[in-house]
Each structure stands twice: as C-alpha cells, then as structure tokens.
Structure 1
Amino acid sequence: MAETQNIGEMAKIMSEDIFCYFGWSKSKPEDQNWKCEDLEHNKKTHPADVVFHYNDPYTDTLNFIHTDLKSFGVSTLEKLELESTLTSLSMQVQCAEISDEWQKLYSGQETDYRIHGMLFIYNHDGQYTKLFTSKLQKVPSNIFNLPKQSKIYVLDPNDIFWLNNVASHIGKLLEKKVLTENYTFFYPQRKDQATIGSSKSATIDLLKSPFFIIEDKEKSCKVIFYRPSGEEVDEFIYLIDYLRHHQILEEGNSIKIFQLEQDQFAPTNFTTAISKCKNILNIKEPNLIKLLDSIEHQKIKKFTTEFSELEIGMGIR
C-alpha cells in the first residue's frame, strides 16, 4: 500500500515541478473529498487531488484546473481505458460548479471564475512512448455533461514529457541569466478583443499548442518552444511568418527556437525556410534580414526525472 501511495505521489511532485514555471498556483487543500451535490451521480463524495489556478489573459477571469493525478507504469498504460476516469472527472467538474463546499475550499471570495478538469497521466517508469489518440477516440463524447464554460483536458505521458523538458530548460535559462524571473508568455490578439500582448501565466490551451513564445523585455529576448519535429520546410516558413505577422521580429530582439524531438533534417529545413521567407515575403530591409539570419535554432538535451520511492516515502521530496 505504501509503495502504491509513493508511486501516486510522483504525479503530484511532477505536476508541481512543471506548472510553477508556467505561472500556475495551487489552491489549498490537496487530496480532499467533498460532498456530491447531484443525486444522479450516485456518489457521496468527489475527490480533488489538486486544484491549480491561473488568470486567463483573454477573459481576465480566474481559471481553476480541477486535477485528477495518475501515475502508471507502461504495463498499466498499455491496457488503460479512459472512459470511466473521464466520466468521473466530468462529474467532479459539473458538481464543483454548484458545490458550496468546493467553492469554500478553493475559490474563496472569487466570483468571476471558471472550473475546468484536467487528467494528468504520468508514466513513472518512462517506458511508454505511444500516442494517446486511439485511447481518446474510444471515449464517447456524451459522457461530458459539463457546465457551458467548462472543458476537460488530458495531459498524457508524451505531453508531460514535453512540458517537463520545457520547464527544465526554462530553469536552465534562468540560471544562465538568459531569462529573468519577469518573463511572460505571448498571446496573439483575437478578433473583437483588446490587445493582450503577454501574461505571466500560460493557459492550458497554450501549453497544448504546437509552440509557444516566452518574452523577456529586460533581456530583449524571445524564446520559442517548438513541439513538432521540423520534418517539413513549410512548417518553419509558417512559424517565421507567424513571428513576422505578430511583430515578434523586431530590431534589437534576440530570438531563440528550441526543439525537443527534432527530425534529422530539421536544422537544414530551418535554414532553407529562412531563405525562402526572404523571397516569399519579399524582405529587403537589411535589419530584418540580419535579424532573420541571427535566429538561434537549437535542440534541447532530453531530460528525464527520476524518483526514489524511498525518498518520497521518507518525505524528502
């Protein structure tokens, strides 16, 4: 039993280590059961492993991420079915919306907020490399009886591996003074909304996107974490055009692009994309050409977190 508890604790530690770099905060308490308010759920209580929160830069509302933490080995993940787990999480979010107890525990005096659910599935032995797409496709959409503004998100082992490596690399950039503690995340303007610019928090939608941009005005630095492998020239052309369109390509900025899973031809494809962009976009301005040529494109050295069940059991971590 203690061994199972220690394995479960790994997911909690991992989530804390990751999300602190993305501007998320934890709402107390953790590992809390609270009364179910819906008779159709046929449950006395619902669990809350951990509830994170951050401010959404587009709506200026507080987003609570009601999180179900899972830590599984590869053998369990191979046969894992998601329907029952996601049904339970959907019930939790639905009930949290109307529960006075949940609101007293987590939202406090806040009145303008939204509650979302997140299934966080950590592979503690690091041996699961398959995509979760087929597992998610088997889940019927009619199980998600959610409040109008709420969503359910799944962070699978591959998502967590990616975000853990990004978080680790952000930590290294902070240590090397490439970034300061005042870094922010870039958000493009949406139609019919005022310009957002940047925020201290990365929304879960941003973290699930193919790439995101960190800005540091003190360092005049833009850091892009790019998740696709870079196997096509066109994907880098799109990225560069995106940077140009959103005025990221500004004189005086240093721009760094980091990849984790990189195709063997990605560096060549990136160089080719720079050349093609100059022609396609008819770039003639010398300073912009100089900036394009100065963009750093690097591969992140893979980082894997290893836990000691003994240390966790002793409360060292």
Structure 2
Amino acid sequence: MAETANIAAMAERLSNELFAEFFWNITGPMNKNWSCEKKEQHNLDTHPSDVVFYYDDPYSRNRVYVNCDLKSYAKSSITVSAVRGALESLSKQVSCAEVSDEWRELYIHPNVTPSICGLLFVYNHDGEYDKDFRQHLKSLKNAQLDLPKGARLVVLGPEDIFWLDNVRYEIVQMRGRRTGSTPLPDPAHCRYFYPQLVRRKNLELEHAKAATLEMLTSQLIVLEYDRQGHPEHKGLVLFYRGKGESADEFTYLFDYLRSLQLLKEGVDIEIKLLNACPVAQPMFQKAQQVYIDGLSDTSAASPLAERVKQIQYRRMSQVLTRFSDIELGMDYA
C-alpha cells in the first residue's frame, strides 16, 4: 500500500512543479472526497478531487478551476479501459462540482465568476511508454461521459506531459546566465502572451498571467518578459511543438508575429523546438531568407527585414523527469 501511495505521489509532485511554472495556483485541500450530488445516477456516495488548480482567463472575468485526476501509471497500465474509466469518473466529478455547494465551499473563491473543467493527467512514471496515446483517445468516442453543456474535459497523456515538462525545464534554465541566450528575469516580470482580439478584448491583462489550458494543449506556448533595467524592452520566447521539417512551419511563426505587430524594435524573439528534425536549423534560415525576399524588391535592409533577421532559433535539450518511490516515501517534509 505504501509503495502504491508513493507512485501516486509522483504525479502529484510533477503536476505541482509543472503547473507552478505556468502560473497556476492550488486552491483548497488536496486528495479530498466530497459528497456526490447525483447518487442514483452516478451510483456513488462521494467523488475525489486530487487537486484543484485555478488561473484567471485573459479574455473574460472568469476564474478557471481545473479539477484534476492525477494518474501515475507504468507502461503496462496505460490501457484503453484504464483511460476510459478515469475519464468517466472525472466527468462525474465535473458534473457534480457544477452543482455542489460543498465543492464550491472547498475550492471557489468569493466574488469571482467560476468556470469549472476537468483535467486527466496521465504520467508514465517508468518512462517506458512509447505508443501513440492519442490512439487511446480516438477509441474513447463511446465513453459514457456525464458532462454539463459547455463543460470541458482535457487529457494530458505521457507525450503531452513530456513536452510541457521540457518547456518548464527550459524556462528554469533560461533564468540562469547561459552563453548565447538572453537570461529570463524572475517570474514577477514574466507572463504568457495573449494578443488583443478584435471581438474578445483582453480584459484581465495585468492579472491573467497564466498559460491557459488552450495554450498548453496547442502547438505554441508564448512567454513574454520584461528586460530588467530596460522597461521599454521586452522579450518573447516561442516554444513550438513542431519539428521544423519545412520552411513553411517557420514562415507561419513569422506571419503570426507580424500580424500581431511584434516584429518591432525593442522586442527580442527566440523560437525554441524540442523535437526538432535534423534539418530544422537550415529550414529556419531558409524561411528567414525567403520571408525577407518576399517583403518587396527593395526591403532587404528595411527595419522589418532586420527584425526578421534578428529572430533566434534554438533547440531545447530533452529531459525526462523521474522520481524514486523510495525517496518519495522518505520525504517527510
């Protein structure tokens, strides 16, 4: 039983470290059971909440509450039936949390508009899972999910967690001084970037610093920071999940930056890839050259062309976070 508890603690430890770097906060008690509001329908007396994170949405006044089911599985335990059972259980948790006074008393802050969603966090603790986890999800179309209209369930599989953990690690490393890379300031001077949208004005820019679930499950995570000692200068780090197999991938990123008027003086820009293919570096250089050539016949030395030339490409180092169940069992702090 102690060994099982230590293995479960691995997902808890990793999720806490991981989401803290994305500016998520924990609310209420961890590993708490609360009363089911639909006992006949769910055939349960209680539901568990392993941990509830929250962050403020950048495009509304909603505070997003993420009810998490943390799973720490060995390779052999990541099966379709296991994932289906976890998803069905999580959907019931979210369904009840929406109407539960007890859950709201435990986790919801006063004077906020809550938006509740569920997150299934599937951590492969032995690091040996090598299948396509998305195939499991495709086979779960017929899972019996009890969700209110508009409610969301998000699944992070082993590959997703590996990607996010490497982004987290890279950010931590960038805060140290390393040759060839602009050091990041402390977290107080960093935030995740959300553009002002025409139809969805960013209402909470000063408070909504966190990376949303939508950003964390997309191909692009954008971190914005202030240059210390130079408040008029900013930096952007684009963590891109693609492989850089073609120049078009980088052209898309240049267009993204240009459309948001980020290719301007005083903004340092880096593009970082984790699973970069062998030709990613030359593809990036080709994209720069072609993009500059396409601006106009006379723009090779224009300010916009210079800004494109100054974009930096870097490959991220891969790390795999592993825990010892013995060491976790000895951690009494």
What is the alpha-carbon distance in structure 2 between the residues aligned to residue 274 and residue 263 of structure 1?
18
Distance 1:307 1:60, change over 3 A: same
What is the alpha-carbon distance in structure 1 between the residues aligned to residue 324 and residue 332 of structure 2?
10
What is the alpha-carbon distance in structure 1 between the residues aligned to residue 323 and residue 201 of structure 2?
44
Q: Can you list the C-alpha shifts for 1:90-119, whole angstroms capped at 9, x where unaligned?
A: 010000000011011101424411100000
What is the alpha-carbon distance in structure 2 between the residues aligned to residue 83 and residue 165 of structure 1?
27
Q: Which residue of 2 aligns with 1:90?
A: 91
- Residue 191 (structure 1) shift: 4.1
Equivalent of residue 184 in structure 1, options 191, 196, 206: 191
> Does structure 2 retain, via aligned residues, the 8 Å contact 1:180–1:216?
no
What is the alpha-carbon distance in structure 2 between the residues aligned to residue 304 and residue 291 of structure 1?
35
- Residue 192 (structure 1) shift: 1.6
- Residue 133 (structure 1) shift: 1.6
Gaps of 5+ in 1: none
What is the alpha-carbon distance in structure 2 between the residues aligned to residue 92 and residue 82 of structure 1?
15
What is the alpha-carbon distance in structure 2 between the residues aligned to residue 134 and residue 117 of structure 1?
20
> Does structure 2 retain, via aligned residues, the 8 Å contact 1:56–1:63?
yes
Moved more, 187-196 or 201-210: 187-196
What is the alpha-carbon distance in structure 2 between the residues aligned to residue 109 and residue 195 of structure 1?
22
Q: Which residue of 2 aligns with 1:135?
A: 136
Whether 2:20 is the aligned partner of 1:27: answer no
Whether 2:310 is the aligned partner of 1:294: answer yes
Q: Which residue of 2 aligns with 1:304?
A: 320
SS in 2 for 1:243: helix
Distance 1:110 1:9, change over 3 A: farther
Moved more, 302-311 or 143-152: 143-152
Q: Which residue of 2 aligns with 1:150?
A: 151
Letter in 1 for 2:214: D
Whether 2:3 is the aligned partner of 1:3: answer yes
SS in 1 for 2:193: strand
- Residue 187 (structure 1) shift: 1.1
What is the alpha-carbon distance in structure 1 between the residues aligned to residue 313 and residue 332 of structure 2?
38
- Residue 80 (structure 1) shift: 5.2
SS in 1 for 2:99: coil
What is the alpha-carbon distance in structure 2 between the residues aligned to residue 281 and residue 148 of structure 1?
46
Q: Can you list the C-alpha shifts for 1:210-235, whole angstroms capped at 9, x where unaligned?
A: 01211113352111101111112111
Q: Which residue of 1 aligns with 2:284?
A: 270
Q: Which residue of 2 aligns with 1:218?
A: 227
Moved more, 211-220 or 77-86: 77-86
Whether 2:55 is the aligned partner of 1:54: answer yes
Moved more, 140-149 or 121-130: 140-149
> Does structure 1 retain, via aligned residues, the 8 Å contact 2:238–2:270?
yes
Distance 1:110 1:175, change over 3 A: farther
What is the alpha-carbon distance in structure 1 between the residues aligned to residue 64 and residue 289 of structure 2?
42
What is the alpha-carbon distance in structure 1 between the residues aligned to residue 127 and residue 318 of structure 2?
12
Equivalent of residue 209 in structure 2, options 190, 200, 205: 200
Q: Can you list the C-alpha shifts for 1:15-63, whole angstroms capped at 9, x where unaligned?
A: 0110001110011200000000012111000010000000011112100
Letter in 1 for 2:73: F
- Residue 79 (structure 1) shift: 6.0
What is the alpha-carbon distance in structure 2 between the residues aligned to residue 83 and residue 212 of structure 1?
28
The normalised TM-score by structure 1 is 0.94
Distance 1:211 1:67, change over 3 A: same
Q: Which residue of 2 aligns with 1:37?
A: 37
